[in-house]
Amino acid sequence: MEAAEKPLKPQKQNYAILSEADIGELQKKEMIKKHVDDDDAISWQKYGRCLVRSYVEAQQNKIKWCPAPGCDYAVKFDIGRIGRSGISNDVKCDCSYGFCWSCAEEAHRPVDCATVAKWILKNSAESENTNWILANSKPCPKCKRPIEKNHGCMHMTCTRPCNFQFCWLCLGAWSEHGERTGGYYACNRYETAKQKGAYDVTERRREMAKNSLEQYTHYYERWAANQKSRQKALADLHQMQAVQLDQIREKQCQIHGQVMFIIDAWKQIVECRRVLKWTYAYAYYLPERERAKREFFEYLQGEAESGLERLHQCAEKELEIYLNEDLSKEFDEFRTKLAGLTSVTKNYFENLVQALENNLEDVDSKGGCGKVVGAGSKSFGEGCSKGSGKRGNNIWNWICLKG
C-alpha cells in the first residue's frame, strides 16, 4: 500500500488526513515480511494496524488518538507551537469530532482548559446535591435525616422508623404546638427566636446555599440547552447534506454551488452553539466584583446569541418553504437573507471569542467598555492562541492519521 498523503489545505486548516501507510517512513512492508506471507492479507492488515498503534503510542507527546468512540484516527500536532499567536489547541478530526489537544476534552474554544475541568467536575460532583439538600431541606430534630417540605403546612412527620413529628420552622416537637403557637401555617416560637438572632447562622447558611444553587442552575440550564441545540443542529446538517440539499436544488432549479450557502449556514450554527455553550461556563466563574467586565461580556454574549437565534430560525423554519414547494421567485431573496445572517452571526461570535481570549481587556481602566474588536480577516473557529488576545495567522498545526 503506497503512501498517499493528501495535500495540505489552505491556512484555514493546515492539516492532512493520512492512512496507515502515511505514518512516517517505517518500512512497514519489510518488517511485516519477516513474520507474514505475502498472500496472507488478513495477517498483513492485523500486523499493519499493530505497527501503527505501536508507533502512535511511542509518540505520546506528539501524536494522540482521537477520543471519539469508534474513531481510528490519530492526530499529530506540532507541540512547539502550542500557545503561540494564531495557534489554537482545538482540533477537528476527520471523523468530524472536535477536541482539545491539551486536555482531550471536547473542543472548548474560547474557554481555557482549567475552566472546562472545573465545570465538568462541578457538573459531576456531589457539591450541588449538597447545596440542594441544604437549601431545600432541614434535618429531622430526632434522627437528623434531611426532610423536604412538600406541603403548605408546618406540620412535618419524619419517615419510618423515626416517625417524629415536628414544626418545620422552629424544629420543635409538634406536640408542643397548637393554636396558641400559630396553628398549622405559622410559628410564634420561631418568629420570637428569629428576632433574637437564634437562627441567624442557620438561615444565612441556607440562603447562601440557595443563592449558590440558583446561580449554578441558571448557567447549567443554558449550557445544557445549547448543547442540546447543537446536537439537533448537527443532525439537521447531516440530513441536509445527505438528502435535502439535492431536493432543494432540484425544486428550485439551482446548480450545486448555488445552494451551498445553506450548508455554510448550518455549519455556522453548529459551531456557534458550541461556543455559546462554553460561554455560560465562562460566565459562571467570572467574578461578580468585576462588574465592568461582566457587563461587557453580557453585552457581547447577548449580541451573539440574538444573532444566532435569528440565523437558526431562518435556516430551520423559513427553509421549509423551499423544501415543500416548487420553483419559487423568492428563493434568491432567501439566499441573500440567509447568507447575510450567516455573515453577521459569524462577526458577532468573532467579537465574543476574541474578547474572551483577550480576557475582556477591552474594558478600560475607568470601568467602561472599550471598542469592540472587529471581525477582521480571521475566520471564526480557526486558530487563535488561548488567552493571547491577538489576531494571527489561521494555522491549525495538526495532522490526522488513520489507525
Q: Catalytic amino acids?
A: 153
In Å, how far from its chain's centre is CA 258? 32
Count Cα neighbours of 383 within 13 Å in the Cβ-side half-sphere: 22
How many other C-beta atoms lie within 10 A of the C-beta of residue 153? 12
User: Residue 95: is it exposed, middle or buried by C-beta count within 10 angstroms (0-12/13-18/19+)?
Assistant: middle
345: phi then psi, degrees, rounded to nearest 5: -65, -40
Q: Which residues on neighbouring strands pair with residue 165, listed in sequence order?
A: 157
Cα angle 239, 245, 251; round to 5:
135
Q: What is the DSSP string of 260-283?
A: HHHHHHHHHHHHHHHHHHHHHHHH
Name residues whose C-beta falls within 8 Å of residue 60's C-beta, 6 or more positions apart in sequence.
Answer: none
Q: Where are the beta strands (DSSP E) in 85-214?
A: 90-92, 98-100, 137-139, 146-148, 155-157, 165-167
Name residues whose C-beta falls within 8 Å of residue 158's C-beta, 6 or more positions apart in sequence.
Answer: 140, 142, 143, 145, 147, 164, 165, 166
**Which grid cell sits at 107?**
473542543
What is the DSSP pairing of strand 90-92 with strand 73-77? unpaired
- Cβ–Cβ < 8 Å for 64, 403: no
Smallest Cα–Cα separation from 113: which of 121, 123, 125, 105?
105
Query: Residue 297 is inside which H or E element, if any?
Result: helix 291-313
User: CA 276, CA 243: separation in Å to the nearest integer?
Assistant: 28
For residue 34, CA distances in Å to 27, 44, 47 come to 12, 11, 11
